[in-house]
Amino acid sequence: MQANQTHICIVGGGFGGLYSALRLSRLPWLSQALPKITLIDQNDHFLFSPLLYEYITGELESWEIAPSFTELLSQTNVQFIQAQVRGFDLATKQVNLCNEKPLDYDFLILSTGGRTPISSLPGVSEYALPFRTLSNAQRLQARLKDLLSSNLDKIRVAVIGGGYSGVELACKVADRLGERGRIRIIERSDTILGSSAQFNRQAAERALTKKSIYVDTSTSIESLTSNTITLINRDQRDVLPVELVLWTVGTDVGEMISSLDLSKTEQGLLKVNEFLQVEQEKTIFALGDIASFRENLPKTAQVAIQQADFCAWNIWATINNKPLLPFRYMALGEMLSLGEDEATISGLGINLEGTLGYLIRRLVYLYRLPTLKHQMSVALHQLTRPLLP
């Protein structure tokens, strides 16, 4: 690094962080203003989480949904460091890493995403499987394999949470288990997919009925053991046998963000201004699931990707003394997978379901994969797959 080269440090290589890094590397830098860009993530791979369900059914392989950062950044000037960030020294502008020397920065992008907090209810941390990371999905995949090779007649699965994740996961697990699966969604409120578009909710309800997935609304979980789940519905307590419990509810920002001395909302999200800068410090940008913009935006990849564009541009503009652009979110709609060959889409005035919905969803996500090279590799693999033994 040259003596006075600007250093942009990006913490978290998800939709916010990785897409900011890629965008920054493609902006038209003058050679004398070319910054050093460093992306830090605790994992060696990015995760395209909307396609994590497809890994469970074997429709997509791990390299397709979780390509390595080294591969994705190979044709850019972005340096990747695999390390866990343990904190920041905002006064001296340093990022503190576990087992590595601290890094100095001029601009910091924070995009460490959400975590699934596992409830403290009895048995949950021991027996329920969360579904957020590639290793969560690999663990679930292995468990399903074991259950399928057992001599159990019925395989009973409880999915906790009737939001997007719970419904999509329940449909894929039902397809994976086939006739032997007995899937039940447990939802505390009186409806599943409470924040979803009506068209998608109705399509999901039809898919759940078709797959004989049972939905318990207004029901909460009291405790788990290795083979039972205790549910409370109004004043009634039911103890049901279960082979597998999947936990899809809740999200928090984790200790590192909570302990930062920056303005936060009541939910612990970092408050950002219209340019995505944190309130007290114009050289720190926050985006994705950890950031709170004026409007209460959903915690989605769609928001994080759009913010990444503005964040990269605003850092470029600051360095080049150009006006910054206020972030404007454009809601493009929502898509849900509802099994191996079914999905539902609602947005931009279009409603689609069934196989056509499935194909369009896969094409949109193919286009959204982080680099053209990776898009091409996945497209080629998907096209040639049926021909391979």
Residues that bind ligand FAD (CB under 6 A): 12-17, 40-43, 49-50, 52, 84-85, 111-113, 131-132, 165, 256, 288-289, 299-302, 304
Q: Which is nearer to ligand FAD, 292 or 302 (CB)?
A: 302
Nearest-CB residue to ligand FAD?
Answer: 14
Which residue has 């897409």 as its token pair? 19
> DSSP code of 34?
P
d(C-alpha 169, C-alpha 81), whole Å: 32
Q: Which is nearer to ligand FAD, 97 or 215 (CB)?
A: 97
d(C-alpha 339, C-alpha 343), whole Å: 7
Query: Which of 9, 6, 64 has its CA nearest to residue 380?
Result: 64
Bridge partners of 241? 228
Q: Which is nearer to ligand FAD, 231 or 278 (CB)?
A: 278
Q: How near is the Cβ of 194 to ligand FAD at its closest, in Å?
A: 16
Q: Which is nearer to ligand FAD, 231 or 272 (CB)?
A: 272
Quote the Cα angle for 327-331-336, to 5°.
Answer: 135
Q: Which is nearer to ligand FAD, 6 or 344 (CB)?
A: 344
d(C-alpha 186, C-alpha 274), whole Å: 38
Q: What is the dihedral of CA 191, 253, 8, 80, to 10 degrees?
A: -90
d(C-alpha 80, C-alpha 320), whole Å: 24
Question: Which phi and psi (to 5°) does residue 163 adopt?
Answer: -85, -165
Q: How near is the Cβ of 16 to ligand FAD at its closest, in Å?
A: 3
Q: How near is the Cβ of 326 to ligand FAD at its closest, in Å?
A: 20
Q: Which is nearer to ligand FAD, 46 or 231 (CB)?
A: 46
Q: Are 112 and 11 in contact (CB under 8 A)?
A: yes
Q: Which is nearer to ligand FAD, 231 or 288 (CB)?
A: 288
Q: How near is the Cβ of 91 to ligand FAD at its closest, in Å?
A: 20
Do strands 343-347 and 334-337 pair parallel, antiparallel, or not at all (unpaired)? antiparallel
Question: Which phi and psi (to 5°) does residue 386 adopt?
Answer: -60, -20
Q: Are 201 and 193 in contact (CB under 8 A)?
A: yes
* Cβ neighbours around 235 below 10 Å, total: 5
Q: How near is the Cβ of 376 to ligand FAD at its closest, in Å?
A: 22
Q: How near is the Cβ of 112 to ligand FAD at its closest, in Å?
A: 4
Q: How near is the Cβ of 308 to ligand FAD at its closest, in Å?
A: 8
Q: How near is the Cβ of 288 to ligand FAD at its closest, in Å?
A: 2
* Cβ neighbours around 120 below 10 Å, total: 7
Q: Which is nearer to ligand FAD, 44 or 238 (CB)?
A: 44
Provide the total of helices (H) and of strands (E) in the chain, helices listed first: 12, 22
